[in-house]
Structure formats: C-alpha cells, structure tokens
Structure 1
C-alpha cells in the first residue's frame, strides 16, 4: 500500500470521535493516550503535567491532512444542522433515510433518487437544508465513506494498473487496455479492509463486542475459534503475546457467480468477501459485518482467467498492516491491533483457481494428501478407489478381497500431506519449466500449478487454513445419489465400469442382438441426403439394462414420490410436498437437500425399495451426514465421527457403482 493510503488510516482513527462531538482532538502521550480537546490542550498540560508540551498531533505535520480535517469538520457541521426550522430531524438523518431506501431497492436509479429528493425539498417548509440531488447528498457524506481504489485490468488478467496510470497495453501479452475512445476495457474496484476495521474499533457499541469471550473452554467445538488450529495461532502463531480483543483474524471467500440468472454467461464475476472470524456467530455471516473487498470482473461471457492480480492487492494491504495502531472507543485509548488472513472458505473449483491446485477431476485431486486417482476409460473420468487407506489398520474392510475395486487386501497407510517445503519446491519447479507440456506433466504428477500470491503471507499454511465448503460437497453427494438410484445417471457406461473391475456381474450390459427386428429410424439428415449417397443401415437398439440392486424400478420411484407428497412439512423447511424423486429441482436449495436427508424423510420414502445391503449402506451415510451437520461436537466425539465418515464412504464404494466416487471427490 502507498504511504498516503497508510496515512489515511490514521486520519480515520483520529476522526471517529470528531464525528460524534464535532471537536478537534489530539493525543496526550503522558495520559496513556487520552484524547484531549485541541483548544484546551495547553491548559490541560499546564494543569496536569505542569508543562507547556507541544501538541503531538501528526496532522500538524501534514498540510494536506489538515485541509482534509477542516473540510471534514465543515461537512460535519452541515450534516448536524436541522433540516428546517422547528424540527429535530437533521440533514444527516434525512440523507441516511434516503440512501438506505436507495441501497435496499436494487431497481432504484440515481435519477429516481434525485427526483425524490427534489420533490421532498419542495414540499418541506422553506428554506430547508435538504440536498436536492443524489450527487449533492453523496458529496456531503463523502468524507465518511470508505475509500475505493480503482484499477484498469488486462483482459487476459495478466496484470492490473492504477486507474491514473498512463500504460495503454499490457506488458505481458501486449493486449490493449482501452478501446479506441480511450475508455478502459476492464476495471476493478478494490475496497480496503483496514479502514473498515478502524471504523469498527472506533465505534463504541461495536468495539464492546470485541471484548466478549470468544474462546470456548467447555470442550465443545461449535466454531473455528474452538479448534486447535486457531488456538495455536493465538499461543504460538501470528497472534502470540497479543490480547484476544486486539486480534483480527480474517477469512476469505471467493467463488464464481452467474449474475442476473443469465444462462449464457457462466461465472462471469468473482466476489472477494472477507469475514471476521472472532465475531459472534450470529453476526459473522450477516451482510453488515461481512466485508466485500471487490468483485473480479470477467470479460464478455468469460470468467477471469486468473485471480492473482486481484489477490495481490489484498495481500499488499495485509502485509503493510499486519500491525497497526488504532483508536479503541471502548477503552478510549489507542491500541496495537494485529490483522491476519487465517482461513479460506471456497468450493473445490474456486480453490483450484485461488491456490493454483488441480481441479476435482484430476488424478491428484485431493488438496490435503498424496492420494492418487485412477482414470476409467469407460466413463472417461478419474475414480478414487483408495478409501480403505483412511480406515484404521485393524479394520476388517481392509482384508476384503472380493467386493472392492481392488481385489487385494489394503495394507497402504493413510496418505500423508506434502510438507510446506516440499510443496514450495514443486511450485518453484513448475514456474521454471520451459513450456506448457512440461508444466502440464508436473501438474498431473503433483497437483500443483506454480506459486500463488497468498504464499507471500508469512503465516500462510495451506493445509491447515483452507476449508472446502462442506455444504456444497454434501449437496452434491445427495444429488448424485438420488440421481443414481432413480436411474437418471445410470447407464451402459456405469455398468461397463463395473464390468472392468469385475463387480456386480448380474448388472453388466448385454450386447445388442443382430437379429433384433426393432431398429432405429434413419436420421433426418440421412433422409435429406442425395440419392447417390448411400443410406447407412439402421443399427439395432441396445437391449434394456438389467436390474441392479442400487436401482429403483419405475413403480418404486412412483411409490417414493407418493410418500414424499404425503409428508406434512413444518414451518422452517425449504420445500413443500412434491414428487422429489421424479423432479429433482423441487429440492431447490442446498439446505433443503440437507433437511431432506437429515430429517429422515429420504430414508422413509425409499425404505424397503432397494436391496438390503444397499439400503443399509445408504441409511448409514444419511446418519453420518446428519451428524456432520450438527451445530457443535464435543472433543471426544470428533475422532469417532472422522472414523465413521471414512467407513460410510468405504461402504458406498463397496455397495454402489464406482462412478459415484467421482462425485465424492468434489
């Protein structure tokens, strides 16, 4: 960050109190940081300290800051004026009400707000101090708004440059940054995090929340702050020897979204959202405390190729403000605050783009260990058939030589993760490769794709700090299981994959008979072809697939739908009675899918319709999902839950098609 930006943080910390009492204040170094009215500072020094100490106000040394403060004071006086004679309503109240309505209604334009302000100004008693346009209202409150840094971007996401830069073409790819009329092709607005943290500490009611006890000592795990990873950061990590209320641990969420429900544009923007981990859980993930750092734009109908230039801006701010001095309104004194980005909450595709890892379809898809998948030519996907490696060494499932894909006893230990040094060496080696073929080969072998910006953070620890979005994973697993048992994702390729691994022999697809009289009709293209062109002989239809123990018949699906439609759901559920098995979109939300399984509704609908082993395995998985989505655990329950989850996935590998293991990797 620039020195002027860092200096502006001090301005915000000193002007928080000014906004409340309209009095210029400065710090008395001999009173432990007490703020004293600037007009009475010399009298205070003479009375309390018997000295005529000079004012230790940094703003005196910066003429531009003095001018900024005077302008702020002037506009503060305007804001606190009465709206008109005979009313207690101030200009600040009126502007706040109008801007709240404006921001709460997405379809309201600036022109509409200007017209509404002008109409009210005419209706109110004359004269009055209400601004008549949107621009006038924003100009008055401008000093109190959060700063925004603007950048112009390469359309290939190679680099970004300050909006005032004279550079017209990307130095890496030579792509022009502007159109013929000098308008920027792609821009990015970054909203710094530190000024918002400064404002939080400077607001007494909000600063008071930071002094609440956030660490759970009862042995229950209900939040990130209850775990050993966060405790280690507090005792031996980046927050060592720092008071809890002066620590600001942050979490980053990034994901591609499809704006305006436009089906032709996939993930064309990527919001970067920062959350404050140690805030109470009921506040942490609501709109106010969540901080939008910026929205990474795509270009046309394409999503950004790389997030690195935009993440670099965030990393620069964090590095320059690991420690910063802020004013704490709760203690009425300056405090030394530490800020660190300790958690990353993304789904697997977003992690792949953010941390330069392979995607969920890769041979080395796991971000946490050295597990290697197996490519299946039947379904043309990577299967993960090493689930038994995560079981205890004495588990009886490790000795099974018949039902699993590997027809041998599993003796391999649990896969270990790469050390930080090993991972860094691989990423450096990737960047040194001379061509894309060599880089692609190394990526397939290791799962890493070079160094990313977050490595610059001195406390960065990918394995312990990244946490995949569990709700996405559970929702995908539930959807894929329901699609499989209803036959939507079942087919000849699924059965052929089982044949390749010599499993479920009774379900293998049968070869089409050449004597079959039912033949497929010639295509329309063949009918319209010229007379000289030979019409291809019709190919025989493939016979229907044999019954499978994991598959519901048409009558079974109808019965399950009738059961689902007969359930009476209480308030608080995300869905209503419907034929959920025929129309999967009726379970429209991830939370709704989780409710459908964890409230035993799915189990009741399909009870008695599957083969006994498959039913028991599926119900066992539903029970594990129910336990995984509990709001809290005890420390003693955690290890048992980990083992039961591994067992549930192993049973799913044993009793259901291996193609389901593709879904579990996501």
Structure 2
C-alpha cells in the first residue's frame, strides 16, 4: 500500500481513473484495516470518525472526496515513515547506514581481515563497525545485531534524556535478564563502539586570558605568545609529558563540513535543503529570509553561488548561559550556534537541524576576545566559500561541490558589540544611527538617554512638529544612514586589534566607538553583505515587558518613573507638570501622579487579569504562578511569557484600568510586536 499510486487523488471525482483509484484504495484498506465488513470512512464529512460498509465509503469518496491532507493512509493500514517513528522498524539497515557514513572509502571495501594494515583511518573504523554489525546480539537473534541494538538504546537515551549513570544501570539490568546477550559493560564502552558513526568534535587548548589558541602553527607551544601564561593549569606538572598535563582552558569545536555533508545523506533532507528555491511561495509576503532584501541582494552580488540552490546559507548566534543552573555561582559559558536557512521556517529552528559550532568555556564572558575562538570556524567558512567540498546528494544519487556562506549574526544587544566590534555603550551606542546617534547623559539617573527617533518618521509626520510630547524642540533631521561593510572596513583598515584580558591597557590606534575589527571581515563576501548583524526580538520584547510592568505596577527597582527621572525632566525643561514639588515646611519632594498611575484596586485588577488567564497547554509556561495579586507584582517569568503578555494579555489588562490615550498606545505597541513576529509579514 505504501507504493500505491496517488496521482488520481487530484483528478476530477467523476473521471474513470479517480473511480478506479478509489476501488484500489478500498481493496487494500479492507485487506489491512477492516473491522468486520466496515472501515473508517476518510471522506471530508466523516473525517475517519465513522465506520461504514464498502459501498457507502465508495459513494462518500466519489461525492465528497478525501479529507484534505490525508495523503498518508495511516488509518487504513499504511505504516508511518521511519522519520516519524524512529523505533518502529523491525530491521535496521546497518549496511546502508555504514556505507552512507563512510561513502568516501568504497574503493577500500574489498580487503580481508589480514589486509587491513595499510588502510586509511576511516577504512579501519568502517571495518570495525562492520564487524560489530555482523555479531548477533545473542545466539539465534535475527532482528538485532550487537551494533544495531546499541544504536537503538543510545537513541532512547537521547530522546528521553537518560543520564549516563541511568544508561549504565539499564545495561546492567539487561545483562542480568539476558545473560547471553553481547552487551557493553557501561555507557562509556557503548559510546566507544558507536562513536565513529557520530559527528565528533575537536579539543583546542586556549590561553586562560583569551589571548590566543594553541592551534595550527601554535599547537606545540606551552606558553601564550601574547601574555606569557602557561597553557597548562596549576594542577598539571610541566615536567611530565603532554598527555598527562591538564589544559587551563579548552575550546570544543565541532567541524562544520561533515555536518553540512550529513544534511544531504538522507533523501528527504536533501529535498528539504532546496525548499527556499523550489517550494517557497513567491507572493510578495515575507515568511522566510529568502523573501528579504538582504538575501536577494546577496544573490545578485554572487550569482555563481546562488545558481545552485543546494549551496548552504547560514546564520550565527551566540549568547552566554550559566550551566550550573544557579545564580549563586557566577559562570558564563558561550555556545555558538549555526542556523541552516535553506530549510523551511518550520524545520530550520528545530533542535535536530541546529548546528552547535563551538562551546567557549567560562568562567567569564569572552567579550571582545570572542574572535580568538571563532578562528577555526572562519577558516572553514572561507574554504567552503572559495573551494567548497565534494558532497553526495542522496536525492539525485550524484556528488556536487557544496559551498556555504554566512549571511548574518543574531544576538542580543551586548553580544552584538562582541560580534560586530561596535561599542553598544556610551554616546554612540546605536549601531544603526552610528556616528549620528542622538544621546544625552542624565546625571540624576546616571544613565545615557538616546533621543532623536523622530528622524526615522516621514518628513510630514505631525510628531516632528510636536514639542510638548518630546524634548521641547521640533525635529526635521533626515534619517541616519547605516554604515555599509565597505565603509566599516575602510575605517578599520589600520585598526590594531588587541585581544586578551591581560592586554586591555594597551592603547589602540583608534579611539572611536570601535573596539576591534571583526573577524567576520576575513570572509571575502562579508563587506558586501547588506545586513550583517541582527538583534533578537525576544530579548528586546522581554526588556520592554519588564519596564512596562515595573512602571505600571510601580515595582521598586524596576519602575522607570522615580524621583531621579523626575529631576532629569526638570533639568531638561520638559513635562513641567511632572517636576518634583518641594514642601517648604519639611523640605521633602512630592511627585505628581503620572497619566499611567493606577490605584491599588486597579493594580490588583490588572494582576488578576494576568493570573486568571486560561492559556492553551504548552503555549506558554504557567504565568499565573508568576503573578502575586496581594503584593501587586509579577516576577520570575521567562522570555516566552513576556512574548505572550505583550501580544495578548497586556492589551486586555490595560483596557479598563488606564486612560484611553495610555491604553491605546500600549495596545498599538503590542500589535506592532505581534505583527513583526507573525508567520507571514504582509
């Protein structure tokens, strides 16, 4: 039934071919999925809910047609594909798996056991796995070999998050129940058996001060050539051999080339890698990066790259996290992730298609020194752009020269400074406005305030002439222009990069907002990219949500409306109705109520709306547990909770408690975020 022709399903239901196809379907369905003389009716009205006799089902399918999307007849005896049910197969194609993984040694597979001394390392690993694949799990076992059973167990461990200790205990239980089974003794030994099937990583030693990597020409050095620090930790004895020494810092780098090649080993994934070119709707809407100007501009600049849709487009993202799950230990580890934009939007962000490029160790953030750790990735990206790599396409059963390009980076605001080199602090913090950033230091709040956003509005917009609502002046400046990659490279042509935590006092030959010349400019195409760095909207939304909720509920330490901000307004000479008023009798300053100030009962009602909201299961975490109605505050919510609050709940909560002009502004703000986060932007 899996091989049954389905082309007749798109024909007119009155045609002879459609009727013949329905009868073929019914023959197979009654053989495999009947209950007595009835089967589930897959027509548009019954939708596989009601059991009917053959003549009734036939009439329904001819009159109503099949239910939309029912192309895999799982209710009528057809098996799900192995992609959806990875544990459903009775027999694993281990031979096919090994030949796909070691396709480059096909010419060496004719050697016997006594002729394997002169083989390559890949060939030796291949024959080792072949031998494991031939061993029976136990005498007389037909369904599993030793290798296939260990692979299946390892898959279970990955799918269900079993710890290494739990995996070892499970092996002990299986050996006790099945004493004749050829099972490894522990998780580590099981891992050694199948490690050659997986995608490994390289351990690269690094200077503890982030000055350099002991890599390439520096691989034999024992001390950093910049700061002189030892390559080895204090626990290691420098008099012993290198194998017994303990490195002070280790970068774990996952090579990119084999991971990209693996994407084309499966026929279904190889087809999905062409989605952006062959299946993407071209209706003028934005639903994928390929619909944006940056992608189209890249295609026009590099036609030789874009003519083959299998060439891979990548995005890079990085952020720090505490791996110890506690705030009592200050530790920052930085993973660097790569996203594959050849795939459709509903696939490319799934964990199985994200690629971990490297893990930069802590205990502190690498900051501007992240370029030191990005060197191996940049070298691979340059090779993939200039030369490519021979890759087997399982869909066409042919090899091609695959190339890859890094389109942009995505990060939060502090990480943007680390990746781009533009300082996101101080007077010129905005990378979009760059040298035209409009800023003012507020001495009472001790913060830099960034103004002048009216410059991005149309020239005839009424806000440009509105003095009272802004800084007391009209604003008719043109919008600032972003710096192109060529302009940035010209400004940084003679820039002296200084890396390493022990070398921050060394003067650079440039004292502007630039902290470094980004390593990404070593990529031949980077200076021509129209969009090089992006900000993550989820971080921005979380920060705005924190500020809004803190200000509306007047949460101490989180509100933006406080005594110092009122003195700043007074110094700027704007919003006179909000200036602090001093009482001559006691000298205390009193603050006038803002238009968004809520009474205690209004705050409780606001919090009650958020707490009592009934959310779909899995749509967001339990927001109600984060709301304290009695204390009138919200805390501990995650980024996705802020996403849901800004899109839906805030607009409901402010509708009755706040004046119309305030609630309307907040509703429009929520609608703006909802629009730019929609699946299709029109």
Shorter-chain TM-score bucket reads: 0.7 to 0.9
Q: State yes or no: 1:307 paired with 2:355.
A: no
Task: Kindly indicate whether the alpha-carbon contact (under 8 Å) linking 1:189 and 1:295 is maintained by their aligned counterparts in 2.
Answer: yes
**Match status 1:150 vs 2:203:** yes
Question: What SS does the corresponding residue of 1:335 show, helix, strand or coil?
Answer: strand
Give the drift of 1:73.
2.1
Residues 1:347 and 2:412 aligned together: yes
Q: Distance in 1 between matches of 2:254 and 2:295?
A: 27
After superposition, the CA RMSD in angstroms is 3.3
Say whether residues 1:473 and 2:540 are aligned partners: yes
Distance 1:464 1:485, change over 3 A: same
Question: Greater RCO between the two (CA within 8 Å, min separation 6)?
Answer: 1
8 Å Cα contact 1:274-1:293 kept in structure 2: yes
1:548 aligned residue (575, 590, 594): 594
What are the equivalent positions in structure 2 for 1:16-415 lying under 5 Å apart? 19-20=97-98, 66=120, 68-87=122-141, 88-103=143-158, 108-109=163-164, 113-124=167-178, 126=180, 128-162=181-215, 165-180=219-234, 181=236, 182-212=245-275, 213-237=278-302, 240=305, 242-244=307-309, 246-266=310-330, 268-299=332-363, 306-322=369-385, 323-359=388-424, 361-370=425-434, 371-372=436-437, 373-405=439-471, 407-415=472-480
Aligned length: 557
What corresponds to 1:653 in structure 2?
none
Q: For residues 80-115 of structure 1, what are the alpha-carbon distances to aligned partners after superposition, in whole Å with 9 as ceiling and x for unaligned?
A: 4321122212222321233234445667235x5445
CA distance in 2, matches of 1:509, 1:100: 65
Deviation at 1:253, TM superposition (A): 0.9
Alpha-carbon distance change, 17 to 105 in structure 1, aligned in 2, over 3 angstroms: closer
In the alignment, structure 1 residue 557 sits paired with structure 2 residue 581: no
C-alpha distance 477-95 of structure 1, shift in aligned 2 (>3 A)? same
Aligned to 1:605: 653
Deviates more, 1:384-393 or 1:172-181: 172-181
- Give, in whole Å, the separation in 2 of the partners of 1:114 and 1:556: 57
What's the CA shift for 1:334? 1.0
Say whether the 8 Å CA contact 1:22–1:73 is kept in structure 2: no
Aligned equivalents of 2:514, 2:445: Cα separation in 1:
25
Whether 1:596 aligns to 2:645 is yes
**Is residue 441–residue 448 contact of structure 2 (8 Å, CA) maintained in 1?**
yes
TM-score (norm: length of structure 1) = 0.76
Give unpaired runs (5+ residues) of structure 1.
1-15, 28-34, 41-59, 517-539, 635-666
**SS in structure 1 of the partner of residue 369 of structure 2:** coil
1:176-204 deviations in Å (ceiling 9; x for gaps): 22124231111111110111111221233
Cα–Cα, structure 1 residues 208 and 610, in superposed 2: closer, same or farther, change >3 Å?
closer
Residues 238 and 151 of structure 1: CA distance in aligned 2, closer, same or farther (over 3 Å): farther
1:626 to 669, 674, 677: 674
Q: In the alignment, what sits opposite 2:56? A: none
Q: Is the 8 A contact 1:265 1:302 kept in 2?
A: no
Q: Is the 8 A contact 1:485 1:552 kept in 2?
A: yes
TM-score, normalising length from structure 2?
0.74
Q: CA 1:347–1:239 in 2, change beyond 3 Å: closer, same or farther? A: farther
User: In structure 2, how many angstroms separate the alpha carbons of the residues matched to 1:147 and 1:452?
Assistant: 28
SS in 1 for 2:538: helix
Change (3 A) 1:334 1:609: same
Are the counterparts in 2 of residues 158 and 173 from structure 1 also a CA contact under 8 Å?
yes
Distance 2:547 2:184 in 1: 57
Secondary structure of the structure 1 residue equivalent to 2:582? coil
Shift of 1:480: 0.7
The residue correspondences of 1:497-512 to structure 2 (distance < 5 A) are: 497-511=568-582
CA contact (8 A) 2:563 2:580 kept: yes
Give the direction of change, closer, same or farther, for the CA distance of 1:366–1:237 in structure 2 (3 Å limit): farther
Q: Cα distance 1:141–1:558, how it changes in 2: closer, same or farther (>3 A)?
A: closer
Shift of the 573–91 alpha-carbon distance from structure 1 to 2, 3 Å rule, reads: same
